[in-house]
Each structure stands twice: as structure tokens, then as C-alpha cells.
Amino acid sequence: MRIGQGYDAHRFEKGKALVLGGVGIPHDEGLQAHSDGDVLIHALCDALLGAAGLGDIGRHFPDSDQAYADIDSRILLRQVVERLHAAGWRISNADLTAVAQRPKLAPHIDNMRETLATDLRVDQQQVNIKATTTEGMGFTGRGEGIAAHAVVLLTERPVE
């Protein structure tokens, strides 16, 4: 078994669509990034790559590469899953936490879970997503952006 951890944070930006966990969320601002800014998927990718000893998302999909400008982060996640499978790993479970003062994420959690389980090619039971505020403290509390934490467990893929 191998464990991996990921963390990411992005600043809010007016006039951009908010996408979290692969799901569009109605809000008056989105997240600033080279990609679509899906901070939850970025933390998840880093946890997966970390567990597999494959570096991080920046190494696989550099900011400097125009191929990744405004890219749907689900495409990156699917590529990470393919690289993990190719390296002989399978995903046992993923546990994610989004940290945001606003908007309210609870109504979107089930949809995110279904979306991420599809991209991870696992059962929904293997993906858990939580959302919390920081009670007004820090950059997330002041509504400057959204942060995300991810932990995953990988197991060696049995030889078929």
C-alpha cells in the first residue's frame, strides 16, 4: 500500500466560472489559474502522484505549456489515473476536503463525488468529499480563495 497527500489553493477571480470537483458551481467568481482552477482536482492529482512516487501536477502538466491553458482539470485527472495504472497501481480510496467560506458546497458534494469516481474509475464508495469553512479566519475565511486537501491510498494492481 502507498499513501499520498495533496494540497492546493487558488485565489478568486471575477468573471470566471467556478469549477470544483469537476462540477460547475453557480457563484459570482471563479478561481484564478492557468487551467480551469479546479483546486480540488489539483489537490487530488498531487495526492495520487505523490502516492505513486511520480512527482507532482506541475511536473506532468507545466504552467508554461499553452496546451494546458484553461484546460478542464478532469482531463488532467484522467491522465494521472492512466499514468498510475501504467505504473502498476490502483486506487483504493480518496478522501478530500474543500476549504471555502463561500459559496455553500454541501449541495454539490454528491455530484462531485459521482464525477470524480467516474474519472478515478472507482466506485463512489471509494471517494469521500468534505467541505468546511474556517469560521472567517485566514485567506479562505476572508473569501480570498478556496483551498483543498486530499489523501489517497493506492494498492499494487494485481497481475491479471
Binding residues for Mg ion (CB under 5 A) = 8, 42
CB of 151 to Mg ion, least distance (A): 17
Which residue is nearest to Mg ion, using beta carbons? 42
Whether the CB-CB separation of 94 and 127 falls below 8 Å is answered with: yes
CB atoms closer than 10 angstroms to residue 66: 8
CB nearer Mg ion, residue 42 or residue 74? 42
CB of 87 to Mg ion, least distance (A): 22
Closest CA to 151 of 42, 41, 4: 4
Closest CA to 129 of 102, 152, 156, 145: 152
CB of 68 to Mg ion, least distance (A): 11
Residue 98's H or E segment, with its range, is strand 89-99
CB nearer Mg ion, residue 8 or residue 119? 8
CB nearer Mg ion, residue 70 or residue 156? 70
